């Protein structure tokens, strides 16, 4: 069982005070025990009774301050199970705790995030679950902080939901997205838990499995509410927005519905959940949001938690809480006493003083810690009381405001009743009652005011106490600094005693040396005396007495020497003891060095194993990438023989760009292969290059097959075989990368040769220009645009001349018809001129933005197909303007037909549309010139319609219709005329059908001639086969290259016209 670390020293052990402090102490003690029992390292589910006590504690103190004061001391980085159970308890506290818990948890978001990030980087089964759980908790805290209308328990009525969503569709949309994100986090946690259980084949009755399953009860409760709110908001969104806009929302909801249904089904099948929670059943299919009446069929899922039998209480002895005072630490012996011992076995007064001061320092330090912790706890309590009192003051202020409002209302009512007193006695009684209510309200207001004043005084008293506590803490800090200074003085005195002892030892050694010298001198004197004694034996008794005196003196000296030698031996013993201590310390240091070397060796071995594991993982990633690349290439090669792929077409230009990109990707692949061979610990470069190579090569093979479907037979067969060879060479290269022995020798030479072959065939199939060199294209574009402008200007002048001529030569209805037709033609020419000018500006913008460092001619030459399209469209516009003027001239001179003018109008509208389409191909979507060009195009279409309308109305005005009078005909003659008319109708229908067929053949031949390209080196032009289209349909405008679609700016059969 884990114990709580870093618990505040005075939280669980504090001297008894007044009743509030004793109650607070008992509350802290019970909370500490409950948290210790609920959050521990045992792989078992959290007991409900411990979690319930923690939740009741949050309601008791109206917040989670105590819970977090213990939770931040838990060693979460040391145990994944401990972190998992902490997340579980925090989830329950958020759901069922006091509403202020959310604000307290908001302040500790960083702690929750750090715990999740730590375990997310470690390969631990519980660690991965902790990482997902912390993300869920952070999402929950953020959502409920942003939307305080939703309590953490997610239980709100439909009216509150409607009020929160509001009527703004943007707010409803955003709230729906946030609910989807919330539900995603819940479902991801459940999927991760079940995935681990499926891996370990767990049984729900095992304690280790129940430890993982226990938090899913809260997840089920959250998911049922989130699902209901999501359904409500989705129906509301579908009532405000079109269905296509919400397609993404529906897809996401359907995916979450399937995951939630699967989650509920799995949980319902487990015995562990059957006795703890009643899981609702979801419908077989998700709600149909496209049908508004389906909302009535929706049933809110309800989760039922059955009541549990009360559990037996356990003795709460998990945390030792001692009420006795802590024993004082033993005082270490003095350094000088350890080294030299007390002189002559008697302790010095300074040693006693040092011991006394050390005891005082320790006592002061302990007392200072007690005072600091007590002050901190007292400050915390004061802050909590201040917050509580402020809340009560705010509540009283609200009641006061409400009382004032009621008082004002009652006063108004009283005045109204006083004015109505003269009307009836009943009004007088009501007035008296209103006065009584006003008096009662006044009394209540007075009491509230007194209570408010009392609360303000209490608040001021608490603030003064807080200031006194701060002053006491300042005094404690000063005493701590005084203790530090005393400690420094004691250290200085100890150092001084050391120096004095060393000086005494030096003096004793000097005295020993002097005694030795004196002893030698006395020995010399004794020898000299003996010699003098031998010479003076005849001296008598006086000399013998002198000798005895000398001998006595000698004995004294010998005793003195013996004492000094004993002192010397004791000093040597101390020195040897010191040397022994130093040798022991050296041995200890040697052992520590050996242990460190062993740990270093173990760490080195572990790093080697991790390095090998990293190499294996990198090689595994490479193999997975190689297998994926092989599947991509095999799928592309299979397209070569797929009969469904025959209808897919592509252009040589697009194939050329794909093959060039694939050939360039081989250089990147070769560099990545070289880097991996040099350092196999990093396969990122090779993996990325392999993915790019596989996709580009497969794209080249598929587009090569599509291009071969439009190529001549010989080129088609060669291109197909070359694409097949390219795929096989690529697969051979990938096969070499799958073996470590052949990986280093893998080469890309064969692959490059195959890609170059495809590139060469694409170059051969690329269409060539018929009569214009690429170097002249840039000049041709400018010349054609200029000539088109000139043709339009000339057409406007000619129309003005025809207008003046018509006014001179005609009058009446004919003059009116001619003026209307010529005016509409003039308007059409002006619209076309404005369109040509806008198209010219757009082309300049395209060239400037796309040419880079190249010249304008080089840009046109690089985009030759697009340039030829511009030239063709410009020629068509100029020719159409000329034909329109000639047709109008003939109509005015009555030598032409009105139908010619109508056809010319249609043709010039189609030609201008072709010019717009050709200019639009390479323009940016956000270009202003493009917008102006589209506006001009619509204006041209309107002017062309005006020409057609004025022509038809003029034709109806000019032509006279014969009146049909059949009154004088007999029955037989009428029948004969009817038969002749039917014959003429059939003849005209047959002729019309023939003309339609002829028109279709003409258009097909025009399309074939416009799309012809030269495939031979000698310049032989071969017409391209016309596509199979309807008789009256022209080919569509240029489109982006794709399978089975016309090409945009490249291909063997480029479009050269449009039909509107």
> Using one digit for the tens of pLDDT, what is the confidence trace for 305-354?
776 544 444 433 333 333 333 333 333 334 334 434 444 444 457 777 78
Phi-psi bin for 1051: left (phi > 0), alpha (psi -120 to 50), beta?
A: left
Point out the least confidently predicted range of 302-316, 425-439, 999-1013.
Answer: 302-316
Residue with tokens 């239980």: 155
Q: For residue 672, with 0-12 CB atoms within 10 Å meaning exposed, 13-18 middle and 19 or more buried, which class applies?
A: buried
CB atoms within 10 A of CB 211: 19
- Over range 398-407, report the average pLDDT: 74
Q: How many alpha carbons fall within 13 Å on the CB side of residue 1051?
A: 28
- Confidence category of residue 14, pLDDT binned at 50, 70, 90: very low
In three-state secondary structure terms, 98 is coil
Which pLDDT band, with edges at 50, 70 and 90, does 698 fall under?
Answer: very high
Q: How far is CA 540 from CA 116, 235, 533, 547, 550, in A?
A: 111, 146, 10, 11, 16
Contact yes or no for 1003/1030 (Cβ under 8 A) = no
Pairing of strands 1021-1022, 1013-1014: antiparallel
Helix 48-61 × helix 80-96 angle, to 10°: 50
In angstroms, the CA 267 to CA 279 distance is 8
pLDDT at 332: 35
Question: Over 70: is that where the pLDDT of 86 sits?
Answer: yes
Reported as a pLDDT band with limits 50, 70 and 90, residue 725 is very high
On whether the CB atoms of residues 672 and 688 are closer than 8 A, the answer is yes
Q: How far apart are CA 1026 and CA 1012, in angstroms?
A: 10
What pLDDT was estimated at residue 1058?
A: 32
Per-residue confidence (pLDDT) for residue 348, from 0 to 100? 55
Q: Which residue has the higher pLDDT, 97 or 1056?
A: 97
The SS3 call for residue 1017 is coil
Out of 17-31, 619-633, 647-661, which region has the weakest mean confidence (pLDDT)? 17-31
Compute and round to an integer the Cα radius of gyration of the chain. Answer: 52
pLDDT band at 699 (very low <50, low <70, confident <90, very high): very high
Report the Cα 857 to chain-centroid distance in Å: 46
Q: With both helix axes pointing from N to C terminus, report the angle between 777-809 and 812-850 in degrees, rounded to the nearest 10.
A: 170
The per-residue pLDDT of the chain, averaged, comes to 75
| Residues β-bridged to residue 1021 | 1014
Q: Which residue has the higher pLDDT, 777 or 639?
A: 639
Q: How far apart are CA 845 and CA 788, in angstroms?
A: 20
- Going through 881-1033 in order, the beta strands assigned E by DSSP cover 1013-1014, 1021-1022
Query: Cα–chain-centroid distance for residue 144?
Result: 20
- CA 1014 to centroid of chain Cα atoms: 54
Higher pLDDT pick, 908 / 767: 908
What's the token pair of residue 1040? 């982006």
Q: Note the pLDDT of residue 1009.
A: 60
User: What is the arithmetic mean of pLDDT over 784-811?
Assistant: 75
Calculate mean pLDDT across residues 1008-1037.
36
Report yes or no: 696 and 658 within 8 Å, Cβ to Cβ.
yes
Q: d(Cα 801, Cα 640) in Å, to the nearest integer?
A: 64
Residue whose entry in the numeric block shows the structure tokens 């037979």: 713
Q: Please state the rounded mean pLDDT for residues 399-421.
A: 73
Provide the pLDDT for residue 697. Answer: 92
Q: State the number of CA atoms in the 13 A half-sphere of 770 facing the CB.
A: 12
pLDDT recorded at residue 988: 83
For residues 232 and 252, give the distance between their C-alpha atoms in angstroms, rounded to a whole number.
Answer: 15
**pLDDT above 50: residue 539:** yes
Highest-confidence segment of 313-317, 328-332, 511-515, 926-930: 926-930
Instruction: Report the candidate in 719, 733, 736, 731 with the shortest Cα–Cα distance to residue 658.
Output: 719
Q: Is the dihedral of CA 791, 795, 798, 804 positive or negative?
A: negative
Residue 764 · residue 714 · CB < 8 Å: no
d(CA 227, CA 176): 11
pLDDT of residue 731: 92
At residue 695, does pLDDT exceed 90?
Answer: yes
Please report, for the chain, how many H helices and E strands are present, in that order.
29, 2
Average pLDDT over residues 205-225: 86
pLDDT of residue 726: 92
Lowest mean pLDDT among 30-44, 417-431, 970-984: 417-431
Residue 529 has what pLDDT? Answer: 62
* CA 564 – CA 558 distance, rounded (Å): 10
Task: Classify the phi-psi angles of 894: left when phi > 0, otherwise alpha if psi is within -120 to 50, otherwise beta.
Answer: left
Residue-wise pLDDT for 700-720, tens only, equals: 999 998 888 878 888 888 888
Question: Would you say residue 146 has pLDDT above 80?
Answer: yes
How far is the C-alpha of 781 from the C-alpha of 254, rounded, in Å? 55
As a whole number of angstroms, the distance between CA 658 and CA 662 comes to 6
Contact (CB, 8 A) for 68 and 110? no
Q: Which residue has the higher pLDDT, 902 or 10?
A: 902
Percentage above 70 pLDDT, the chain: 78
The band of 696, judged by pLDDT with boundaries at 50, 70 and 90, is very high
Least confident of 89-93, 670-674, 980-984: 980-984
What burial class does residue 874 get, using C-beta atoms within 10 Å of its C-beta: 0-12 exposed, 13-18 middle, 19+ buried? Answer: buried
What is the number of residues in the chain? 1060
Nearest to 87 by CA among 122, 111, 107: 111
pLDDT at 16: 44
Q: What is the pLDDT of residue 171?
A: 87
C-alpha to C-alpha distance for 690 and 257, rounded to whole angstroms: 37
Region of poorest pLDDT, from 251-260, 294-303, 305-314, 938-947: 305-314
As a whole number, mean pLDDT of residues 185-203 equals: 77
pLDDT exceeds cutoff 80 at 31: yes
1018 pLDDT band, cuts 50/70/90, is: very low
Q: How far apart are the C-alpha atoms of 92 and 39, rounded to whole Å?
A: 13
DSSP calls for 658-716: HHHHHHHHHHHHHHHHHHHHH-TT--HHHHHHHHHHHHHHHHHHHHHHHHHTTS-HHHH
- Beta-carbon count within 10 A of 977 CB: 12
Average pLDDT over residues 670-685: 84
Contacts of 778 (CB under 8 A, 6+ apart): 855, 856, 857, 858, 859, 860, 861, 867
Using CB atoms within 10 Å of the CB of residue 473, give its burial: 0 to 12 exposed, 13 to 18 middle, 19+ buried. middle
pLDDT above 90 covers what percent of the chain? 4
Task: From residue 114, give the alpha-carbon distance in Å to each of 108, 111, 919.
Answer: 10, 5, 56
What pLDDT, on the 0 to 100 scale, is given for residue 198? 65
Give me the residue label for tokens 């009527």: 167
Distant-in-sequence, close-in-space partners of 1019: CB < 8 Å, separation ≥ 6? none
Question: With contact defined as beta carbons under 8 Å apart, do 42 and 6 qualify?
Answer: no
| Residue 222: closest CA among 108, 139, 165, 111 | 139
pLDDT reading at 850 higher than 90: no
Task: Give me the helix-helix angle, 216-238 and 247-268, nearest 10°.
Answer: 150
Cβ contact 703:658 at 8 Å? yes
User: Quick one: pLDDT at residue 723?
Assistant: 92
pLDDT tens-digit map of 577-586: 877 888 888 8
Q: Give the pair of three-digit tokens for residue 489.
A: 């003085």
What gap in Å lies between CA 860 and CA 915, rounded to an integer?
16
d(CA 227, CA 286): 11
Least-confidence region, from 540-549, 912-921, 1000-1009, 1042-1051:
1042-1051
Q: Give the list of residues 6+ apart from residue 979 with CB closer than 8 angstroms, or none.
A: none
Rounded to 5 degrees, what are φ and ψ at 83?
A: -65, -40
Does the structure show a pLDDT above 50 at 958? yes
- How far is the C-alpha of 51 from the C-alpha of 539, rounded, in Å? 115
pLDDT of residue 19: 65
Residue 244: HSE in the Cβ half-sphere, 13 Å Cα cutoff: 0
């Amino acid at each position: 069982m884990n114990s709580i670390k870093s618990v505040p020293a005075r939280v669980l052990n504090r001297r008894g005070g007044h009743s509030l402090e004793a109650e607070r102490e008992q509350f802290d003690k019970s909370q500490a025990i409950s948290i210790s029992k609920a959050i521990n390292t045992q792989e078992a589910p959290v007991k409900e009774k411990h979690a319930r006590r923690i939740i009741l504690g949050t309601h008791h103190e109206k917040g989670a301050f105590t819970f977090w004061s213990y939770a931040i001391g838990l060693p979460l980085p040391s145990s994944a199970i401990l972190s998992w159970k902490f997340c579980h308890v925090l989830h329950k506290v958020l759901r069922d705790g006091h509403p202020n818990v959310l604000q307290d948890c908001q302040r500790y978001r960083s702690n929750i995030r750090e715990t999740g990030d730590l375990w997310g980087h470690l390969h631990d089964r519980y660690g991965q679950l902790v990482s997902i759980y912390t993300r869920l908790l952070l999402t929950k805290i953020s959502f409920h902080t942003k939307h305080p209308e939703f309590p953490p328990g997610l239980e709100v009525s439909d009216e509150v939901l409607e009020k929160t969503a509001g009527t703004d569709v943007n707010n409803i949309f955003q709230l729906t997205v946030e609910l989807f994100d919330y539900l995603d986090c819940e479902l991801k946690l459940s999927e991760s838990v079940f995935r681990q259980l499926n891996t370990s084949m767990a049984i729900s009755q095992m304690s280790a499995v129940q430890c993982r399953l226990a938090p899913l009860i809260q997840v089920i409760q959250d998911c049922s509410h989130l699902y209901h709110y999501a359904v409500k908001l989705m129906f509301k969104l579908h009532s405000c927005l079109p269905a296509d806009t919400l397609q993404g929302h529906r897809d996401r909801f359907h995916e979450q519905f399937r995951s939630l249904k699967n989650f509920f089904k799995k949980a319902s099948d487990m015995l562990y959940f059957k006795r703890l929670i009643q899981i609702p059943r979801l419908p077989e299919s998700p709600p149909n949001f496209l049908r508004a009446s389906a909302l009535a069929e929706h049933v809110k899922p309800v989760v039922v938690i059955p009541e549990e039998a009360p559990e037996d209480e356990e003795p709460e002895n998990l945390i030792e809480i001692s009420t006795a005072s802590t024993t004082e630490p033993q005082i270490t012996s003095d350094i000088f006493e350890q080294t030299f011992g007390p002189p002559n076995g008697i302790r010095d007064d300074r040693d006693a003083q040092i011991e006394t001061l050390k005891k005082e320092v320790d006592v002061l330090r302990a007392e200072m810690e007690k005072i600091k912790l007590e002050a901190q706890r007292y400050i915390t309590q004061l802050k909590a009381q201040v917050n509580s009192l402020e809340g009560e003051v705010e509540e009283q202020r609200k009641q006061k405001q409400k009382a004032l409002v009621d008082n004002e209302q009652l006063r108004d009512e009283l005045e109204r009743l006083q004015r109505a007193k003269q009307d009836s006695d009943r009004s007088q009684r009501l007035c008296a009652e209103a006065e009584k209510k006003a008096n009662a309200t006044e009394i209540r207001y007075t009491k509230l005011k007194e209570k408010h004043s009392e609360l303000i005084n209490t608040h001021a008293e608490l603030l003064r106490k807080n200031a006194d506590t701060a002053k006491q803490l300042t005094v404690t800090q000063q005493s701590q600094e005084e203790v530090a200074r005393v400690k420094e003085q004691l250290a200085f005195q100890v150092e001084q005693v050391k120096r004095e002892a060393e000086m005494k030892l030096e003096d004793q050694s000097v005295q020993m040396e002097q005694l030795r010298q004196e002893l030698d001198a006395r020995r010399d004197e004794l020898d000299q005396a003996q010699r003098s004694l031998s010479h003076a034996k005849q001296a008598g008794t006086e000399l013998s007495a002198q000798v005895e005196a000398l001998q006595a003196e000698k004995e004294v000296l010998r005793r003195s020497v013996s004492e000094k030698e004993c002192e010397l031996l004791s000093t040597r013993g101390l020195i040897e003891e010191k040397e022994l201590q130093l040798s022991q310390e050296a041995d200890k240091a040697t052992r520590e060095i050996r242990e460190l070397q062993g740990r270093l060796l173990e760490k080195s071995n572990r790093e080697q194993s991790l390095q090998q594991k990293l190499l294996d993982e990198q090689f595994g990633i490479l193999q997975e990438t190689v297998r994926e690349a092989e599947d991509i290439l095999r799928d592309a090669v299979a397209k070569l023989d797929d009969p469904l792929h025959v209808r897919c077409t592509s252009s040589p230009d697009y194939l050329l760009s794909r093959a060039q990109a694939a050939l360039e990707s081989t250089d990147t692949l070769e560099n990545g292969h070289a880097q991996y061979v040099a350092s196999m610990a990093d396969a990122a470069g090779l993996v990325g290059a392999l993915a790019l190579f596989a996709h580009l090569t497969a794209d080249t093979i598929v587009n090569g097959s599509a291009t071969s479907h439009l190529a001549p037979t010989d080129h088609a067969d060669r291109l197909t075989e070359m694409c097949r060879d390219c795929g096989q060479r690529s697969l051979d290269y990938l096969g070499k990368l799958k073996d470590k022995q052949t990986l280093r020798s893998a080469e890309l030479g064969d692959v490059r040769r195959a890609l170059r072959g495809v590139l060469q065939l694409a170059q051969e199939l690329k269409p060539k220009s018929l009569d214009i060199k690429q170097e002249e294209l840039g000049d041709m574009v400018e010349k054609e645009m200029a000539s088109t402008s000139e043709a339009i200007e000339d057409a406007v002048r000619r129309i003005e001349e025809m207008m003046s001529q018509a006014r001179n030569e005609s009058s009446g209805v004919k003059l009116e018809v001619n003026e209307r037709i010529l005016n509409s033609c003039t308007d059409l020419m002006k619209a076309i001129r404005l369109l040509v000018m806008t198209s010219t500006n757009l082309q300049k913008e395209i060239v400037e933005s796309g040419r880079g460092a190249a010249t304008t001619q080089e840009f046109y030459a690089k985009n030759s197909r697009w340039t030829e399209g511009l030239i063709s469209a410009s020629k068509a516009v100029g020719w159409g303007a000329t034909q329109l003027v000639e047709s109008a001239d003939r109509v005015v001179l009555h030598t032409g037909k009105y139908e010619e003018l109508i056809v010319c109008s249609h043709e010039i509208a189609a030609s201008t549309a072709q010019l717009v389409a050709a200019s639009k191909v390479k323009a940016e979507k956000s270009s202003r010139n493009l917008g102006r060009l589209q506006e001009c195009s619509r204006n041209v279409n309107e002017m062309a319609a005006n020409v057609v309308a004025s022509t038809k109305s003029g034709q109806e005005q000019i032509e006279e219709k014969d009146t049909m009078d059949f009154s004088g005909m007999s029955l037989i003659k009428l029948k004969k005329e009817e038969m002749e008319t039917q014959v003429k109708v059939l003849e005209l229908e047959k002729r019309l059908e023939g003309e339609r067929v002829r028109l279709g053949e003409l258009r097909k031949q025009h399309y074939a001639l416009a799309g012809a390209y030269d495939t031979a080196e000698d310049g032989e032009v071969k017409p391209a086969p016309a596509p199979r289209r309807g008789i009256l349909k022209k080919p569509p405008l240029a489109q982006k290259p794709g399978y089975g679609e016309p090409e945009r700016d490249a291909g063997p059969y480029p479009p050269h016209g449009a039909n509107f």
